[in-house]
A and B are shown apart, each in its own frame.
Chain A
């Protein structure tokens, strides 16, 4: 089951990467980045469910070991927090860009190239 979940995560990540590289609309690129965040979250939760660290396995089923299954879920929650912050800032930048340059096309944004 773990390998299927990891493959699913890899496919979603690569779809997101294709979107980031191929789209010209900044909003579409942001949405593709969200897909990549989600792929990472799937992988984190799947690994924390199916993989037992060697040290935990050796110690046997103790209370602290039951909690170690939650590490991946906690990390995924933090990834979601960072994704929310990223979307807020990205869209604020987008609105400023539209106000100043009147475009959402990433190829038209070349202020630093001139």
Chain B
């Protein structure tokens, strides 16, 4: 049952991922990205990472894709919508296939990657306690990072300086 679900989820995720990199229309690519993110969230549920699945849907589905769509609207000029590929795309294809070969070989050849003894799932409340005890300092640093990124995004997008109207 898990295996069937996994194959369905993986198929959807990969198909949507291929759509992200191949769709001519950028808006379509954003919608494919949303589908792919939902697939990854489903994979998290399959791995008993419920909190991450929720965060995935909230942050990626609710925030990142929406912000990307907003940016598309703000920058929309007829010809930007439909984009051509780089003329060096065969190089990109060869490079990514080579990387996949490397990764797949390392997975197939390593015995540790065949571990099937799933560890017990830990509840969502436990994750919260862990995040605020053992990972408290990184958690605070992450919040500072988000604050700095937010201020930086505002400053950059405002285009401060006298050369701007």
Residues of A that sit less than 8 Å from B by CB: 1-8, 10-19, 21-25, 27-28, 30-32, 34-35, 38, 41-42, 45-46, 49-52, 66-67, 69-70, 73-74, 76-78, 80-89, 91-96, 98-100, 102-107
B119 touches A49 (CB 8 A): yes
A25 touches B107 (CB 8 A): no
Residues of B that sit less than 8 Å from A by CB: 2-3, 6, 10, 13-14, 17-18, 20-21, 26, 29-30, 33, 36-37, 40, 43-44, 47-49, 51-52, 55-56, 59-60, 63-64, 67-68, 71-72, 74-75, 77, 80, 83-86, 88-89, 91-93, 95-97, 99-100, 103-104, 107-108, 112-122, 126-127, 130-131, 134-135, 138, 142, 145-146, 148-150, 152-154, 156-157, 159, 164
| Given known contacts A6-B107, A84-B63, A98-B75, A50 and B120 CB-to-CB distance under 8 angstroms | no
9 A-B pairs whose Cβ atoms sit less than 8 Å apart in the complex: A5-B6, A15-B17, A18-B92, A21-B86, A31-B20, A31-B30, A51-B112, A76-B49, A88-B150
B119 touches A52 (CB 8 A): yes
A25 touches B59 (CB 8 A): no
B43 touches A42 (CB 8 A): yes
B14 touches A23 (CB 8 A): no
| Given known contacts A27-B72, A80-B55, A49 and B156 CB-to-CB distance under 8 angstroms | no
B68 touches A30 (CB 8 A): yes
Q: How far is the CB of B109 from chain A (nearest CB, A)?
A: 11
Q: How far is the CB of A24 from chain B (nearest CB, A)?
A: 5
A35 touches B122 (CB 8 A): no
Across-interface contacts of A82 in B (CB, < 8 A): 142, 145
B52 touches A41 (CB 8 A): yes
Chain A interface helix/strand/loop/mixed: helix
CA distance A91 to B156 in the complex (A): 10
B59 touches A84 (CB 8 A): yes
B67 touches A91 (CB 8 A): yes
Which one of A25, A69, A84, A92 contacts B157 once the chains associate, using CB atoms below 8 Å? A92
Across-interface contacts of B60 in A (CB, < 8 A): 34, 38, 80
A2 touches B114 (CB 8 A): yes
A18 touches B14 (CB 8 A): no
Q: How far is the CB of B28 from chain A (nearest CB, A)?
A: 10
B159 touches A73 (CB 8 A): no
Which one of B89, B100, B118, B138 contacts A14 once the chains associate, using CB atoms below 8 Å? B100
CA distance A39 to B21 in the complex (A): 15
Closest to B89 in A: A22
B75 touches A94 (CB 8 A): yes
Q: How far is the CB of B2 from chain A (nearest CB, A)?
A: 7
Q: How far is the CB of B13 from chain A (nearest CB, A)?
A: 7
